[in-house]
């Protein structure tokens, strides 16, 4: 009887499916267990909202405009992913691949459908020549780092240990090693993915879907669910040695510090990362925000004073330093797997990114002052922070700018205003206003009318050009790819490109 019911629903839906993806057809969502369940591999699991594990399976890093889920499918094989996409298509139900849950953008708020939880696709196979590795599409960053480290290898990965590996990579992907090797997406050799029609495809520079290869490296969330990928890997040099030096400054030094960071960015060797923060910490200053400057260098037991002397000379409130290995960097940066950055929480965080060639020190002073006002003690936004990422760019610049969908290879600095407040949707409009106005200070100071917004940090209020590039040919190319591979906009929830 169950089989007959499944067949009837399957046939009925298949007919509707060919007519329209947008027709609102409401089926009892627990049919997913009887219809999709038998098509999945033995290790896969369907978690319905009635299951005690449902909350855990669908928890998010930020509650800002978060996606709503009717069921979660914990896939174990690439065929599970394909079967789930086909089931969702046949029933006109949206689907969304999830790994690290850190994706936070207003367009996700429109999602209401099936979560495809990718963690079961977690294999790592290092090639015999040690130059590439093939990973499952559900890997988190720390899993890629750990698996390679055990073999004396490394590759470019996001700095936060618990984001998915691919979430960052599909939007380009910034990482500490990019100065040496390029962006995370620049490491891809090939990938296997399920496209909107539920078909598994191989995608690479020279394969049958080579046109998609360009789009997957910068706008990849728009075209498919990656089930596995092969990337370049490298021997760990210097025994993995890295050092960092951290300075804390007060308001009086802000302009001078950012002028010095401009100087640093012209000197940075490939194995260096500069990350700075403005935030409140009453143990450092009970009344005002502070500016933290972190300089990390590879292959040395203390950061070379050539790079730090100028910061010391500015008179910081404190200086600390230590050394360790590449694997310590997430912990130093406060985004290790045991830190708050990796906890799913009842918090609303929104990010407002802007890429810059260099800092306008006057604008940075104004930004600090405005941040001070909006985060006064007692404000619901007083746990907000502003992050400044100064990656070395040598490896990124070696890749021709038109060869991938990542648009912003010329920017030296990536600033992200991050508003944070206890979850209260009533505060969202205010948070969006605060973030937009703080970011506008930097745009006004940049001398450029174009807001470059790294797609993986975007709030969702930005224009398509802002996320995908201002050269008209970029959006034209992306829209053509979208029309070919996702004409019904099934991948229409994460920074979507409309057809
Ligand atoms: C604390 C923190 C630190 C961060 N650090 C960095 C960093 O160092 N470098 C950097 O570049 N970015 C960084 N980011 C931004 C990060 O790139 C995005 O937030 C990204 O969306 C996170 O991916 P996820 O898997 O964790 O999130 P998820 O919410 O699980 O996924 C985000 C989106 O990616 C898509 N997706 C996920 N898996 C797949 C797949 N297998 N195939 C196809 N599409 C898929 C889906 O559209 C999904 O909605 C950071 C974000 C946070 C919050």
Can you give the residue ranges of every domain in the chain?
2-117, 124-236, 240-468
**226 within ligand 1 shell (Cβ under 6 A):** yes
- Kindly report the length of the chain: 499
DSSP-based three-state secondary structure for 132: strand
Mean pLDDT calculated for residue range 190-195: 98
Higher pLDDT, 7 or 427: 427
Q: Select 240-468's CATH number: 3.40.50.10130, 3.30.590.20, 3.40.50.150, 3.40.462.20.
A: 3.40.462.20
Q: How far is CA 21 from CA 107, 196, 214, in A?
A: 18, 11, 26
Q: How far is the CA of 244 from the centre of ligand 1 (A)?
A: 26
The reported pLDDT for the residue numbered 6 is 36
Q: Give the DSSP H or E segment for 275.
A: strand 272-279
Q: Is the pLDDT of residue 164 over 50?
A: yes
The reported pLDDT for the residue numbered 497 is 98
The reported pLDDT for the residue numbered 58 is 97
User: Residue 377, class by beta-carbon neighbours within 10 Å (0-12 exposed, 13-18 middle, 19+ buried)?
Assistant: exposed
pLDDT in tens, 119-155: 999 999 999 999 999 999 999 999 999 999 999 999 9
Mean pLDDT calculated for residue range 50-79: 96
**163 within ligand 1 shell (Cβ under 6 A):** yes
Ligand 1, closest atom to CA 108?
A: 49
Q: Is the pLDDT of residue 82 over 60?
A: yes
Q: How far is CA 282 from CA 287, 293, 314, 367, 376, in A?
A: 7, 18, 22, 20, 12
The vertex-387 CA angle with 441 and 98, nearest 5°, equals: 115
Higher pLDDT, 2 or 415: 415
Ligand 1, closest atom to CA 164?
A: 25
Residue 116: other Cβ atoms inside 10 A: 22
**97 within ligand 1 shell (Cβ under 6 A):** yes
Banded model confidence at residue 492, pLDDT cuts 50, 70, 90: very high
Rounded percentage of the chain residues whose pLDDT exceeds 90: 90
pLDDT in tens, 392-422: 999 999 999 999 999 999 999 999 999 999 9
Q: How far is the CA of 18 from the centre of ligand 1 (A)?
A: 32
Rounded percentage of the chain residues whose pLDDT exceeds 70: 94
Tokens of 32: 């997913």
- Domain 124-236 matching CATH 3.30.230.70: the answer reads no
Residue 23: which residues within 8 A CB-CB, separation 6 or more?
Answer: 16, 92
Residue 80: other Cβ atoms inside 10 A: 25
Q: Give the DSSP H or E segment for 348.
A: strand 347-356
Q: Is the pLDDT of residue 26 over 90?
A: no
- Domain 2-117 matching CATH 1.20.120.1200: the answer reads no
Pocket probe mutation, ligand 1, options 163, 347, 391, 458, max atoms within 8 Å of Cβ? 163
Banded model confidence at residue 363, pLDDT cuts 50, 70, 90: very high
**13 within ligand 1 shell (Cβ under 6 A):** no
Q: Is the pLDDT of residue 1 over 70?
A: no
pLDDT in tens, 302-338: 999 999 999 999 999 999 999 999 999 999 999 998 8
User: Residue 488, class by beta-carbon neighbours within 10 Å (0-12 exposed, 13-18 middle, 19+ buried)?
Assistant: middle
**164 within ligand 1 shell (Cβ under 6 A):** yes
Nearest residue CA, atom 19 of ligand 1? 103
Q: Is the pLDDT of residue 22 over 60?
A: no
Residue 235: which residues within 8 A CB-CB, separation 6 or more?
Answer: 130, 152, 153, 154
Banded model confidence at residue 207, pLDDT cuts 50, 70, 90: confident
The reported pLDDT for the residue numbered 147 is 98
The string of DSSP codes covering 44-107 is: -EEEETTSTTHHHHH--S--TT--EEEEEEE--SHHHHHHHHHHHHHTT--EEEESSS----GG
The reported pLDDT for the residue numbered 271 is 98
Mean pLDDT calculated for residue range 242-264: 98
Q: How far is CA 134 from CA 124, 144, 147, 177, 185, in A?
A: 6, 10, 11, 19, 14
Q: Is the pLDDT of residue 3 over 70?
A: no
Range from 20-29, 411-420, 470-479, 487-496 carrying the lowest mean pLDDT:
20-29
The reported pLDDT for the residue numbered 12 is 30
Q: Is the pLDDT of residue 217 over 80?
A: yes
Give dist(CA 248, CA 303) in Å, integer. 16
Same fold, 124-236 and 240-468: no
Q: Is the pLDDT of residue 17 over 60?
A: no
The reported pLDDT for the residue numbered 29 is 62
Tokens of 103: 């994706």
Cβ(357)–Cβ(450) below 8 Å: no
pLDDT in tens, 87-108: 999 999 999 999 999 999 999 9
């Amino acid at each position: 009887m169950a089989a007959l019911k499944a067949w009837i629903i399957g046939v009925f839906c298949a007919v509707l499916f060919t007519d329209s993806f947008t027709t609102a057809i409401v089926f009892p969502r627990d049919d997913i267990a009887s219809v999709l369940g038998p098509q999945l591999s033995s290790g896969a699991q369907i978690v319905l909202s009635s299951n005690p594990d449902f909350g855990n399976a669908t928890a998010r890093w930020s509650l800002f405009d978060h996606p709503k889920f009717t069921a979660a499918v914990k896939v174990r094989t690439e065929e599970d992913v394909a079967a789930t996409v086909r089931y969702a298509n046949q029933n006109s139900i949206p689907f969304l691949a999830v790994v690290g849950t850190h994706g936070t953008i207003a367009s996700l708020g429109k999602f209401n459908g099936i979560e495809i939880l990718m963690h079961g696709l977690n294999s790592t196979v290092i090639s015999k020549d040690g130059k590439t590795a093939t990973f499952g599409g559900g890997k988190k960053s720390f899993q890629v780092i750990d698996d390679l480290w055990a073999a004396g290898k490394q590759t470019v990965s996001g700095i936060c240990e618990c984001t998915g590996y691919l979430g960052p990579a599909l939007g380009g992907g910034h990482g500490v090693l990019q100065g040496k090797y390029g962006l995370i997406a620049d490491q891809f050799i090939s990938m296997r993915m399920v496209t909107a029609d539920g078909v598994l495809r191989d995608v690479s520079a020279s394969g049958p879907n080579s046109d998609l290869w360009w789009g997957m490296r910068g706008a990849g969330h728009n075209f498919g669910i990656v089930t596995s990928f092969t990337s370049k890997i490298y021997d760990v040099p210097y025994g993995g040695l890295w050092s960092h030096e951290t300075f804390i400054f007060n308001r009086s030094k802000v302009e001078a510090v950012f002028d010095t960071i401009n100087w640093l960015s012209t000197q940075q060797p490939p194995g260096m990362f500069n990350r700075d923060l403005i935030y409140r910490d009453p143990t450092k200053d009970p009344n005002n925000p502070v500016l933290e400057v972190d300089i990390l260098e590879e292959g040395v037991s203390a950061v070379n004073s050539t790079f730090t002397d100028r910061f010391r000379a500015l008179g910081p409130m404190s200086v600390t330093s230590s050394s360790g290995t590449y694997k310590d960097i997430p912990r130093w940066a406060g985004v290790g797997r045991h830190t708050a950055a990796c906890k799913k929480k009842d918090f609303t965080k929104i990010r407002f990114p802007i890429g810059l060639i260099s800092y306008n020190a006057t604008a940075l002073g104004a930004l600090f002052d405005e941040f001070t006002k909006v985060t006064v003690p007692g404000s619901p936004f007083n746990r907000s922070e502003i992050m400044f990422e100064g990656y070395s760019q040598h490896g990124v610049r070696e890749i021709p700018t038109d060869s991938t969908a990542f648009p912003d290879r010329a920017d030296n600095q990536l600033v992200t205003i991050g508003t944070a407040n206890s979850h209260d949707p009533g505060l969202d409009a205010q948070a969006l206003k605060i973030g937009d106005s703080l970011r506008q200070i930097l745009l006004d100071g940049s001398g450029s009318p174009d807001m470059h917004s790294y797609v993986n940090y975007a709030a969702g209020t930005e224009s398509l050009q802002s996320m995908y590039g201002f050269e008209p040919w970029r959006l034209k190319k992306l829209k053509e790819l979208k029309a070919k591979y996702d004409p019904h906009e099934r991948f229409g929830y994460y920074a979507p490109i409309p057809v």
